[in-house]
Amino acid sequence: MTLIAALLMAAGVLLIASPWLWPVREGGPASRGALRPLAELLARAGLVHASPLALVGIVALVGVVGAAGTLLLVPVAALAPVAGLVAASLPIVALRARAAARRRALRQVWPDVVDHLVSGIRAGLGLPEAIGSLAESAPDAVRAPFRDFRREYARTAQFGEALDDLKEALADPVADRIIETLRMAREVGGTELPGVLRSLAQYLRTDAAVRAEVEARQSWVRNAARLGVAAPWAVLLLLSTRPEAAAAYNSAGGAALVLVGLGVTLVAYRLMIALGRLPEEGRWFR
């Protein structure tokens, strides 16, 4: 218990000091290389200003705490790395769940955003003013990025750069499509923009309805995958509390059995999740 308390205290100190240890830097390593997928995951989860380096530190710390706690509770050495791997994946899983929930929520509001945008354009507003007006008229979930766009455009008068910042803040494929449509209309002109946006809003409503129905029907696949992953390991943890079972799993054969079981579990889980996942639209012109 002393070790767990010490590790938790170290985690708290690390989290408190993380803004100074890993500050966000423009154009820094967070925007390229191995950390780029983490930066994109944070953006999709709505944590644009969070540092990927801080996420790496949290993942490592949670993994160490999980491995140490399991080793203290269950005296099976082979289970410690498994528990550490599972614990280390929890922050990533939580971020992916947050990103998926955010994308589902945004999928419902984009048609309304497009409708407000069309209303502004038909009222005679220029594109920058019509986009900036969404800071008040858009649904609450997306007002903050449009507020930042209006502030940035008022400060620099650079429409393209303000759109780029807006696209990074929203980090959504539908937003990319809308923004690139507006950018093209700004650069080449045209009188068909309201009609194009209305058609896009109608398509988005239809797509959201179809996806919601399919996801509801396929939710049992994801639930079955999670249950199938958790059940054998719960049984293994219960068995490992018995001294004779712990001695068996601490042998070379027992350790090999645990590691092979981990590999089979990961492969089966990924296959079941892949079967139950709908294809997601990729982002535009990143």
Alpha carbon distance 74, 79 (integer Å): 8
For residues 51-60, give the mean pLDDT: 88
208-253, pLDDT tens digit by residue? 888 888 877 777 777 877 888 888 888 888 888 888 888 888 888 8
Q: Can you give the C-alpha Rg of the chain in angstroms?
A: 24
Residue showing tokens 């296959």: 271
Residue 29 pLDDT greater than 50, yes or no: no
Query: pTM for this structure?
Result: 0.69
Check residue 286 and give its pLDDT: 60
Name the region of 46 (left: φ>0; alpha: ψ -120 to 50; beta: rest): left
Residue 262, exposed/middle/buried by CB under 10 A (0-12, 13-18, 19+)? middle
138-177, pLDDT tens digit by residue? 888 888 889 999 999 888 888 888 888 888 888 888 888 8
CA 167 to chain centre: 16
Amino acid code (one letter) for 28: G
Check residue 236 and give its pLDDT: 85
Check residue 208 and give its pLDDT: 83
Alpha carbon distance 14, 10 (integer Å): 6
Q: What mean pLDDT value characterizes the chain?
A: 80
Can you give the residue ranges of every domain in the chain?
105-208
Quick count: other Cβ atoms within 10 Å of Cβ 196?
15
Check residue 25 and give its pLDDT: 47
- Give the contacts of 258 (CB within 8 A, at least 6 positions apart): 76, 78, 79, 82, 236, 249
